[in-house]
Structure 1
């Protein structure tokens, strides 16, 4: 795993320009402490940080190909590069290394820009084609690897992490996007391609960016997510799933450094660990938990590890550790992402890095195979389908008058609201009308329905469960799951790989029909069925999803109460109504309603604002604003 910073200048560059660019690479040294490299010419700067995983001696970057025809940098892994290499050898090409970067360069030479369709992996790639004078960038189909960019009058800047831009006065933008703030309060992150900053964007998954000298950049899509249900006998379906998942795990195990797994109590990490242990019986697994009853899966993970004959290393996190690391975690995150699960992921990555360089995880299985409990909702609301619209309007009006927490209120409201107006992804923190009390600059035009419309317009022909999957692929997965996976592992120079997020795995899973995803009360039905016979001794196959449960609900009532109040009082984010937030914190402390996710969403934003907007966006400053007080 690596990180890069690049600049394609509209004007001839000077040594002064280069002096401003080098610190941008230094800002992300955690992504690649093994080796650094730079390339610099009249119009292009390529800065690279390498974490060596494959071909440790010969994989240095930036990489020059041919007679200085191309310069390349590459963050990620191409899992089918050896297969591609053999195909290219048959075409008459010779190789001097066993590195992925040489295969990428050669494939580009052979096929041009369309070569990206043959890559199987997670990647962000930059190619400077000196012959054509074209600057070409690529992001993988799922968005596993980050790709931030700024286009201004100077040219096109690209970086693996947003913080790099703050190391250069010409790319330090601090103007917030008002709509992005509204979206953040709904989603707990800013949906791509936007960021919290007006002038910074993300290249969307499955897209390329292309710039010719003196012209504006062009963005094109090369991969699109499709679901195509096809009937198949159950035994054939299970065999197909097992074959593709096992092959993906095998490819993801390829490394010249130690590989381990993250192991929770659920099916996803259990399947990955079980398959990985067949390839490497000495593989280690890692588990995290909290010192609160009901907020740990360590016992379940250890039970699974024992049955698999795999070593399990665990760690318990305290409230004090939690709060002390939060500013550093938010600095690493680049943008405010208010998923509490980022914190345990940070600590488990820290622990794993003491032992290994690469770790496999189960992220993506829920989106790919239909694993979220909320996917049951369309089935539970089927009774409303035949209710006339006037009656629905009346029932919705009744639900609006029912007091919060009253039984049936939520059921009526959801049943009388179209999916496109109620479902925005796996988390919905603030409703549009609730933001009016939190934001001094509240704008009623910035609704989440408008944000979601371009997505729902593409999926009208899918059943509602598949629509929810598609939404999660385009919001929750890219904006939350993969952001925290990349940043929290890279914070410790650890490469995290996700075998379920593989184009071949998705190709198989996209053929599942509704009953093979959601069957009765069972999610990921066909994935579970495929491994029941293979792993009969593991209770995790039938266990409900827990994820990384985090006790912020209880901590905000006591241990973190004063800390949260101080964060709000000390903030200089002028557009946040501090009184409304403090009232929310007090309401949560007194009960009976749980406001912890709303509070946490605001706290994360305020800490991020203090680090990136009010101050210098430096790691040293993030360390300085750790907790003021923890209640024992």
Structure 2
């Protein structure tokens, strides 16, 4: 787990950019505090910050490798972990007689690239964003892992192509690339609706992200050519009669194998542990490989907004040492600017803040943690996935009758039972399901945004994804959408950025290609069945997780934001932040203040809408007008040139 950046020039001027690369690399020093290096030739300069996890005393990066007749032909900068690196090394030695200079997990990438070309990405089992520069062919190869666990930002202009693990590093390069730092109004609108900036956008118009499951080829003076190599498909394989248990056993074995691979490290590995089935399963499997496993959880002082007791019970049941961090409202408020600086673009997920504190606590004890992200998207875990069952009757109505139901719902007073059911039943899946987040409906969006553009809608993001899933059942279509939106836009952004803010590596065993291979074929009734979600996964984990967790309802991460924003904990702070923000040209601040007062009065729960705007305003103050100091600790890590 590290941070990389680079600039590919079109005029052989890379040697003049070494100092700039060092500066740009230094602002993401939290990603790799153990070492920092830069490398260059005439065309390319690379910067790298290393968090040493495997082959600690060796495997420096950028890493040079080449065959005997072309030594140092390739240069690699790699962020992530390859969990099947041992098997890849053995395969490359067996098939090609490959010679390795290190014991790390990065070298098999570049050796594999030499022998297999771009298809090396299909053989990697892990999380990654990497760059390979071929000094002979003068070609840069960039790639991201299938699910988008590791980030990679791109910017291409007249001055060349810049790329990096964090956007703030690419921002340092914009002048050299002859690009502007102007904002993207479409991305702002998408963020305001979805609570995150969807890939491949960023809030800066000239900086984009290489999408999950894609690779790009770049040549000096040319724009990147992007190719998708992974497109997840939920293709149902119906259960044969009497084969249910065999499929459950297959799921359990895939998870056991994934956790075993994810435990590979030359440092101590711990595990996050909430009150849910996903993190509990990971921790229960991890302790089989490390009997001294430490688990970590976080909660709040307010009753009803903490899973601390359940997590502690789970830790005791599996025999893990357990550490708890309780977060106060004041700590929450004080941490927000710092967290948004680490995020690069705002993500209006209140769970970011407790994650930051539990990651900081974990880093005192371990360098790597496992976590349960991805289980809901792969196995059907979100409660909203039950909706197609409750709306099934509407599918038999003609389009005209469905529209009539929608008109009827419009005339029913707010708060009346059945109004929401009628409204949502009148809509198609594509119209009603945006993914797992939506802050503003169209009416409120029109009121809150100064430059609202009705031509820019959530369908910019969702329509191309829905087009790929027409043959899938409704639950599979929702899962498919979430893989490309909520998972990589919110869940994995916060997992990477917030743990890396604390120089902590987070690994997600559910998001493994072999686990996906057993999850993708599950039929509808093995996800949503018997009144529960993740039915097949629960059956597979029957002998792995403690009984008190196995059938517990999903809570997400409960944060008392609704109460805090209406009370003395946050109301004054929120109002002061809104009034002070220099974003009048973006938001109607009087409408935002009105929403805040409505929320305080208890007439409408506006907490998520207010939080979405607040996070943007703080981001704007940090990255655009400089009015907010995120108070980042200045660590003096060396940058070796």
TM over 0.5: yes
Post-superposition Cα deviations, 1:496-534, rounded to whole Å, max 9, x if no partner, equal 000000011001100100001110321000000111134
Q: Matches of 1:550 and 1:575 in 2, distance apart?
A: 28
In the superposition, relative to structure 1, how do residues 301 and 74 fare at CA in structure 2: closer, same or farther (>3 Å)? Answer: same
TM-score by structure 2 length?
0.95
In the superposition, relative to structure 1, how do residues 487 and 296 fare at CA in structure 2: closer, same or farther (>3 Å)? Answer: same
Q: Secondary structure at the match of 1:6?
A: strand
Post-superposition Cα deviations, 1:384-419, rounded to whole Å, max 9, x if no partner, equal 111222222222111112222221111001101001
The Cα shift of 1:618 comes to 7.0
Q: Does 1:538 align with 2:547?
A: yes
2:331 maps to: 321
Is the contact between residue 59 and residue 99 of structure 1 (CA under 8 Å) also seen in structure 2? Answer: yes
Does 282-291 or 158-167 show the bigger shift?
Answer: 158-167
The Cα shift of 1:616 comes to 8.4
1:387 maps to: 397
Q: Secondary structure at the match of 2:541?
A: helix
The Cα shift of 1:14 comes to 5.6
Q: Does 1:547 align with 2:556?
A: yes
Q: Secondary structure at the match of 2:566?
A: coil
Q: Matches of 1:53 and 1:450 in 2, distance apart?
A: 40
Q: Does 1:113 align with 2:124?
A: no
**1:47-196 aligned within 5 A:** 47-66=47-66, 67-91=71-95, 92-168=97-173, 169-170=175-176, 173-196=180-203
The runs of 5 or more residues in structure 1 that have no matched partner are: 624-632
1:626 maps to: none
In the superposition, relative to structure 1, how do residues 14 and 123 fare at CA in structure 2: closer, same or farther (>3 Å)? Answer: closer
1:594 maps to: 605
Q: Matches of 2:433 and 2:481 in 1, distance apart?
A: 8
Q: Secondary structure at the match of 2:106?
A: helix
Q: Secondary structure at the match of 1:556?
A: helix
The runs of 5 or more residues in structure 2 that have no matched partner are: 635-641
In the superposition, relative to structure 1, how do residues 223 and 445 fare at CA in structure 2: closer, same or farther (>3 Å)? Answer: same
Post-superposition Cα deviations, 1:174-227, rounded to whole Å, max 9, x if no partner, equal 311111111111110111011111111000111011112232220111111111
Q: Matches of 1:498 and 1:303 in 2, distance apart?
A: 22
The Cα shift of 1:479 comes to 0.3
The Cα shift of 1:615 comes to 1.7
2:639 maps to: none
Is the contact between residue 7 and residue 14 of structure 2 (CA under 8 Å) also seen in structure 1? Answer: no
Q: Secondary structure at the match of 1:100?
A: coil
**1:147-546 aligned within 5 A:** 147-168=152-173, 169-170=175-176, 173-232=180-239, 233-535=243-545, 537-546=546-555
**1:9-28 aligned within 5 A:** 9-13=9-13, 15-28=15-28
2:575 maps to: 565
Is the contact between residue 331 and residue 617 of structure 1 (CA under 8 Å) also seen in structure 2? Answer: no
Q: Matches of 1:59 and 1:70 in 2, distance apart?
A: 15
- In the TM superposition, structure 1's runs of 4+ consecutive aligned residues that sit over 4 Å from their partners are 616-619
Q: How many residues align?
A: 622
Q: Matches of 2:632 and 2:279 in 1, distance apart?
A: 36
Q: Matches of 1:132 and 1:160 in 2, distance apart?
A: 25
The Cα shift of 1:538 comes to 2.8
The Cα shift of 1:16 comes to 3.9
Is the contact between residue 437 and residue 580 of structure 1 (CA under 8 Å) also seen in structure 2? Answer: yes
Is the contact between residue 71 and residue 127 of structure 1 (CA under 8 Å) also seen in structure 2? Answer: yes
In the superposition, relative to structure 1, how do residues 575 and 445 fare at CA in structure 2: closer, same or farther (>3 Å)? Answer: same
Q: Matches of 1:198 and 1:622 in 2, distance apart?
A: 29
TM-score by structure 1 length?
0.96
The Cα shift of 1:302 comes to 0.5
In the superposition, relative to structure 1, how do residues 622 and 250 fare at CA in structure 2: closer, same or farther (>3 Å)? Answer: closer
Q: Matches of 2:186 and 2:476 in 1, distance apart?
A: 28
The Cα shift of 1:231 comes to 2.2
Does 159-168 or 250-259 show the bigger shift?
Answer: 159-168
Q: Matches of 2:222 and 2:482 in 1, distance apart?
A: 35
Q: Matches of 2:515 and 2:163 in 1, distance apart?
A: 30
Q: Matches of 2:516 and 2:563 in 1, distance apart?
A: 38
